[in-house]
């Protein structure tokens, strides 16, 4: 094998789409810049996510700076990995985990470790002259169904809608390109409907590009989406989904969920989901309950018989996933690389999910940059589903546009997951 040795790793502080600092990492191989990657960050984060190291210095970026994480890459990780073969992804990731030495990457920072991990993957792919998806998996060929979050609430918007994401999945499309076309057309009709009832101000968007309207509860958003879908002529081509992010409207003291002016206990809330799923073709619900209620997740999975996705529940962590699988909590895992903090560990969790018949849904964070890395990842995983926001802002369009490129590159090998999004054929 030719020498593909890491000669240097350099990090810098850059800005994400919310104006918050994040980490960007460059990996040099044999003296040449070979791979670069940006680290995403959440706002509606799970308690059990790996530790994102922020400076806590109120004089810079109100404490959100990442200069410590940058210094950890430049002064600790870079010297430790110098001379390593860039294609040894797993060895490199495990070495960083050991170098950190904490269970949640709190010493070096999950943002420092992940930045290196992703940039090493890019550098390995570039050094081998392969697109990243093919470098990770020579059998990569499934284009995902995009979960488009048309109406946004929760922590990702400045409105009173509790449920974070009301989603349309264009499962009837024949290709990713057509999926994008269908959803964009529906969004234009939805815009008109929102303006008609709530005025133009209601078409401001949340962190992930969906409209942030004054709607409340769960029923009205569905009425709007269904009407827009029908008027756009796509009723038979779409199904619906939710990311409830139920943590953010669970009243922990009272042990009750507070939604649209009503209070629900776990069973009451499951009954509400059931009512909605009987009325609309809902195919997937993420985080329908709060993040510690594994038994509740098992109950809702059994009761609804649709895809139930664990985000804050699993945090891409194989230990939490194992606990869930043991009792049938959810039947799919949300895949967010920064929740666990290295590519290899995230891939381990995905593999474990597949082995146990769980789906894997690759996801954006609310804090993204223009780096489209998750588009390569979703195809590499043949996962069949991606949540990467509405294609109306640059940090989201970069992912959609990268998927269009990949679809074209794959040519006749490309398969759009469509209705088989949970278990692509
Ligand atoms: P986050 O939101 O990136 O702020 O965590 C997205 C989600 O909850 O899925
Ligand atoms: Zn979520």
> Using CA positions, which residue lies closest to atom 3 of ligand 1?
365
Binding-site residues, ligand 1, Cβ < 6 A: 42-45, 164, 243, 245, 311, 363, 365-366
Give the number of whichever ligand sits closest to the CA of residue 338: 1
Q: Indicate if 30 belongs to the active site.
A: no
Residue tagged 């960007």 (tokens)? 24
CA-wise closest residue to 371 among 346, 386, 388, 385: 388
pLDDT tens figures, 14-70: 999 999 999 999 999 999 999 999 999 999 999 999 999 999 999 999 999 999 999
Query: Which 8-state DSSP code applies to residue 74?
Result: I
CA–CA gap between residue 300 and residue 15 (Å, rounded): 39
The pLDDT of residue 1: 60
pLDDT tens figures, 235-259: 999 999 999 999 999 999 999 999 9
The pLDDT of residue 3: 83
Query: Which 8-state DSSP code applies to residue 15?
Result: E
> Using CA positions, which residue lies closest to atom 8 of ligand 1?
44
pTM: 0.98
Residue 412 Cα to ligand 1 midpoint, Å, equals: 34
> Using CA positions, which residue lies closest to atom 1 of ligand 1?
42
Q: Ligand 1, residues 163, 286, 289, 336: which to mutate, most atoms within 8 A of Cβ?
A: 336
CA-wise closest residue to 35 among 110, 92, 107, 119: 119
Got the DSSP string for 268-336?
HHHHHHHHHHHHS-EEEEE--S-TT-HHHHHHHHHHH-SEEEESTTTTT-HHHHHHHHHHT--SEEEE-
What residues does the ion ligand 2 have nearby, CB within 5 Å?
A: 243, 311
Q: Which atom of ligand 1 is nearest to the CA of 387?
A: 9
Instruction: Report how far apart, in Å, the C-alpha atoms of 74 and of each of 70, 82, 116, 342, 370 are.
Output: 6, 11, 10, 17, 23
Give the number of whichever ligand sits closest to the CA of residue 207: 1
The pLDDT of residue 135: 98
Q: Which atom of ligand 1 is nearest to the CA of 245?
A: 8
Q: Indicate if 254 belongs to the active site.
A: no
Beta strand 142-143 pairing with 385-387:
unpaired
The residue annotated as part of the active site, out of 165, 290, 291, 336, is 336
Q: Which atom of ligand 1 is nearest to the CA of 365?
A: 3
CB atoms within 10 A of CB 260: 17
The pLDDT of residue 425: 74
Give the number of whichever ligand sits closest to the CA of residue 243: 2
Phi, psi of 262 (to 5 degrees): -115, 160
Q: Which atom of ligand 1 is nearest to the CA of 45?
A: 5
The residue annotated as part of the active site, out of 52, 208, 286, 395, is 208
Residues in the chain, pLDDT under 70: 1-2
**HSE toward the beta carbon, residue 20, CA cutoff 13 A:** 21
């Amino acid at each position: 094998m030719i020498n593909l040795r890491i000669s240097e790793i350099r990090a810098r502080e850059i800005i994400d789409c919310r104006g918050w600092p994040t980490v960007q990492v460059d990996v040099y191989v044999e003296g040449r810049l070979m791979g670069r990657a940006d680290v995403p960050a959440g706002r509606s984060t799970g308690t059990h996510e790996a530790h994102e190291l922020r400076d806590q210095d109120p004089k810079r970026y109100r404490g959100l700076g990442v200069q410590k994480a940058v210094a950890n890459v430049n002064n600790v990780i870079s010297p430790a990995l110098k001379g390593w073969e860039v294609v040894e992804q797993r060895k490199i990731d495990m070495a960083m985990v050991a170098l950190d030495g904490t269970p949640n990457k709190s010493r070096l920072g999950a943002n420092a470790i992940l930045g290196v991990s992703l940039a090493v993957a890019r550098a390995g792919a570039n050094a081998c002259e392969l697109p990243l998806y093919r470098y990770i998996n020579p059998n990569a060929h499934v284009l995902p169904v995009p979960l488009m979050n048309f109406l946004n609430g929760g922590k990702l918007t400045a409105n009173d809608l509790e449920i974070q994401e009301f989603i349309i999945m264009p499962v009837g499309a024949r290709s990713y390109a057509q999926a994008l076309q269908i959803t964009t057309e529906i969004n234009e009709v939805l815009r008109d409907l929102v303006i008609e009832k709530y005025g133009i101000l209601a078409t401001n968007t949340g962190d992930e590009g969906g409209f942030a309207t004054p709607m409340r509860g769960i029923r009205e958003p569905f009425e709007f989406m269904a009407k827009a879908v029908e008027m756009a002529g796509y009723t038979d081509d779409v199904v619906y989904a939710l990311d409830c992010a139920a943590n953010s409207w669970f009243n922990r003291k009272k042990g009750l969920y507070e939604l649209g002016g009503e209070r629900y206990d776990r069973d009451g809330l499951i009954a509400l989901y059931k009512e909605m799923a009987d009325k609309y073709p809902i195919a997937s619900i993420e985080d329908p309950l709060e993040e510690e209620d594994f038994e509740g997740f098992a109950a809702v999975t059994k009761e609804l018989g649709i895809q139930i996705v664990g985000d804050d529940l699993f945090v891409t962590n194989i230990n939490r996933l194992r606990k869930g699988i043991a009792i049938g909590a959810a039947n799919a895992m949300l895949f967010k690389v920064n929740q666990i903090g290295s590519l290899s560990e995230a891939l381990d969790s995905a593999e474990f999910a597949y082995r146990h018949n769980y789906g894997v849904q690759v996801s954006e964070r609310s804090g993204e940059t223009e780096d489209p890395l998750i588009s390569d990842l979703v195809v590499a995983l043949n996962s069949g589903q991606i949540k990467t926001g509405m294609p109306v802002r640059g940090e989201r369009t970069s992912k959609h546009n990268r998927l269009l490129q990949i679809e074209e590159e794959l040519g006749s090998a490309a398969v759009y997951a469509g209705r088989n999004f949970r278990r692509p054929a």
